[in-house]
Structure 1
């Protein structure tokens, strides 16, 4: 039974989880977080440097789209910090009261990142509407050059994260979404700057910023919904299918009080009461059920309370 009580996420999809208490996650290269941390550090350094440059030139060029893109990049950097801190906490902190460690921090970070995306998008929409009623001249040439540099930085960081990080993890996904939103924002600023440069119509800059903000809100709500479902301990797998799988074993007569929750990515926990035919074979039955749920649903931690059949 012990091999199926995984207190950490399942690292290898094709292999059973191996419980290793003697080695920290810091030195476990099978843990995707080892690479995630390196990618986040590189992205944070490059993004932070670009924020300073882009903010200065957004003020000099008087471009709302460039300023909004700078704000996105600031939230990008903040999201990268949160994501990095979550990984460091998981690897470094230990508390016997936290029986599943600090893995749920990843979900909290994703939740906060989604909220920051929504908040920044609402702010940009507000500023954009104000600028539509009070348009100002824009230095389109400066706007295009700086936005292009920002595009290169975001493209490199997004590519680095896409190739090297674990995007199935909601924590990393939230940071990646920030980078992609800012990458798309840089594209909008460049396109808007070109139109403003050749046409002189400053409204294009503002309209693109507002459109981008609505797109950000749409994607952020999806991330918010996913993180909230995990925090509310909704089952990530179909409960009815799990019950049906359990009842396929002839020794299981009934499944009661079934609870399935997700601590973080690929870290599922299930508890249940089952009515069994024979108490004497319960240990073997529990091992069969644990292995089956691990292989079919990636439930790595299973606690079963047996009940004797009254018939």
Structure 2
């Protein structure tokens, strides 16, 4: 008797055509989504950079530490948006035969870096808020309010564009959106703080709001950091045991000897498995691989599957 070595799932002509058609549509869907994401990021980057310069100038002129903190936070957003934009360019344009999955993982790496910058920005805001609470300074509240409102509008437009048009299931775009939301909330805190200072002279409400909003940002950023870390560490995005159960439901599969599932980027799952199978020849195995590939694609969205079969010992 014989033992199979390794085999990529094959299909008959009809099934192969359907799979190609699905892959073709899937590819164009991803390409279209990235094209929209790239356009949104470009507009957001230009608007955020311009607003950052305006806020920096007027934070110095108004002597507003809160506005300066928001400006530094916006600087981290400019950095994050630039990285997100470059990640999409890399996926679309850069070619390297050694990188068999292209630069898709760069999107996840950028999301990881973005999450870290959000965390650092939030911690910096908390530090500055405590410092301001201990040593309050007189500020030009009117200028602070006007500039913060302008920043709020710019961040609001950017966040709305991303929410309506971007693919927020993509961790790269999700991280960029979180940056916009964090800046939106930061601008809101500065507006409220400025209004309170203008009418009452009490500066502490601005400090309290900054701390509360920063804690919320930390929570969001930690979730994003966990998601991107899991992808980079190649943790399985789906329940391994459930996948094994589905494989064993096929009467031709005796045992799942080994199973690895990883996520390259958003909606791009890869699985490799070592199965003991009850098949007599290559034709039967081709049919089995088609069935398993179809099942895993539709139940778990695993689109790239490699099966290494070993003939079951009880099969004569």
Q: Does 1:237 align with 2:243?
A: no
Query: 2:118: which partner in 1?
Result: 117
What secondary structure, in the 3-state scheme, does the structure 1 residue paired with 2:22 have? coil
Question: What is the alpha-carbon distance in structure 2 between the residues aligned to residue 30 and residue 110 of structure 1?
Answer: 19
Change (3 A) 1:261 1:50: same
Deviation at 1:30, TM superposition (A): 4.8
SS at match of 1:66: helix
Alignment match, 2:308: 305
- How far the C-alpha of 1:133 sits from its partner, in A, is 1.6
Query: What is the aligned partner in structure 2 of residue 210 from structure 1?
Result: 211
Give structure 1 regions of 4+ aligned residues with deviation exceeding 4 angstroms. Answer: 27-30
Give the corresponding residue for 2:200: 199
What secondary structure does 1:108 align onto?
A: helix
Q: CA deviation at 1:310?
A: 1.1
| Structure 2 partner of 1:88 | 89
Alpha-carbon contact 1:64-1:205 (below 8 Å) kept: no
Looking at structure 1, the residues matched to 209 and 30 of structure 2 have their Cα atoms a distance apart, in angstroms, of 43
CA deviation after TM superposition for structure 1 residue 155, in Å: 0.6
Equivalent-residue separation in structure 2 for 1:131 and 1:200 (angstroms): 14
Cα RMSD for the two superposed structures: 1.7
Alpha-carbon offset, residue 119 of structure 1: 1.0
**Shift in CA distance, 177/142, structure 1 to aligned 2, threshold 3 Å:** same
Query: Cα 1:197–1:87, aligned 2, differ >3 Å: closer, same or farther?
Result: same
Cα distance in 2 for residues equivalent to 1:190 and 1:19: 46
- Contact 2:69–2:128 (CA<8 Å) still a contact in 1? no
Question: What does 1:15-54 correspond to in 2, within 5 Å?
Answer: 16-18=22-24, 30-54=31-55
**Ranges in structure 2 where 5+ consecutive residues have no aligned partner:** 1-8, 12-20
Residue 67 of structure 2 corresponds to: 66
SS in 1 for 2:258: strand
Distance 1:222 1:62 in 2: 35
Match of 1:176 in 2: 177
Q: Find the counterpart in structure 1 of residue 229 from structure 2.
A: 228
The 3-state SS of whatever aligns with 2:136 is coil
- Whether 2:294 is the aligned partner of 1:291: answer yes
**2:88, 2:34 → 1: CA distance?**
7
The yes-or-no answer on 1:149 pairing with 2:155 is no
What SS class does the counterpart of residue 255 from structure 1 fall into?
strand
1:99 aligned residue: 100
Q: Deviations over 1:104-163 (max 9, x none)?
A: 000000000000111111122222222222110121111111000001101111111111
State how many pairs are aligned: 295
Q: Distance in 2 between matches of 1:127 and 1:65?
A: 8
Q: What is the alpha-carbon distance in structure 1 between the residues aligned to residue 197 and residue 113 of structure 2?
A: 35
- Measured in 2, the distance between the counterparts of 1:278 and 1:163 equals 50
Higher Cα Rg, which structure: 2
Q: Name structure 1 gaps, 5 residues minimum.
A: 4-14
Contact 1:63–1:205 (CA under 8 A) maintained in structure 2: no
Over residues 3-36 of structure 1, what are the superposed CA-to-partner deviations in whole Å (9 max), with x where a residue is unaligned? 8xxxxxxxxxxx832289xxxx8x8785310110
Q: Deviations over 1:204-258 (max 9, x none)?
A: 2222222222221111111000000111100000111111111111111111210
CA distance in 1 between partners of 2:170 and 2:29 (Å): 17
Question: Greater share of helix residues, 1 or 2?
Answer: 2
